[in-house]
Structure 1
């Protein structure tokens, strides 16, 4: 695999991983805010799809033609980070797939050193290459996938990329509770020992 193919593969994997975090959830659980700032699973999918469309579209003079009202001037702040009741799960998944297809076409059409310009970045950093944007978007997706991992675990204790994920220690719910209690105990002991 060459460098472009490697980056593209990682981007595709992260796309699938993020959608996988929605598997088996009802509308409420995938939309509900689980942090003080309102972070929610379906909103993360909407956000990353929207961002990907711009980075592999606008930046390389290949606009998708897709109207995203939540990114327009005058839109409510953070409107791309949550999903209104009028937006269906299917709408967001379709947007995510559309963004992937559009991005894939740009990636396949251009060499890694293809120049682009990010109009929303500071002037001194605006000029980029496809390689920079591929790295940026793999990092962006991984960043938000980390958020999604934690949100999904808060909803129903599902952890890892898939059932039986070899990166997770195999424990029963009781063993996880004991493990967590041990960590909590260590944190309390340290709080009594060390100054914060």
Structure 2
């Protein structure tokens, strides 16, 4: 593992699309690491922006950045409709001390309503894999990753259990209460 910021350090999680165009940038703080990977948090009021859209976090959330680089999993404490939102991705990792990744369109969602657990944005995936020319081996790998993540979220196994996210949400709250 390369050097990471000190817990509580502000950073930006920068996403691009496959062709290198800018996508989301999330204002975050570094929380630390565990056996699942690195964790960053977003405080209530933090901004997330992409070309044409700017949103403010209504409540805290934490994101797992696993070492495999194929997804980033966000756990939303106060989102009214979504508890877990996993961006299936490519090249998620660290660059110049901040997290980066390529958004690959597929998402695994654990909704709090009747939708339950599902893979989202298959239409965007189908469109973009042609438009951006995703290599066949990347398509096959990420389709497998999405199905595997959906099964893990459904089973509620760590790190997709409530206890793992609760631990990191508590770390974020502790950082906030200490004024970092």
TM over 0.5, yes or no? no
**TM-score under structure 2 length normalisation:** 0.28
- Structure scoring higher RCO (CA < 8 A, sep ≥ 6) equals 1
Q: Name the structure with the higher strand share.
A: 2
Q: Which has the larger Rg?
A: 1
**TM-score under structure 1 length normalisation:** 0.27
Q: Name the structure with the higher helix share.
A: 1
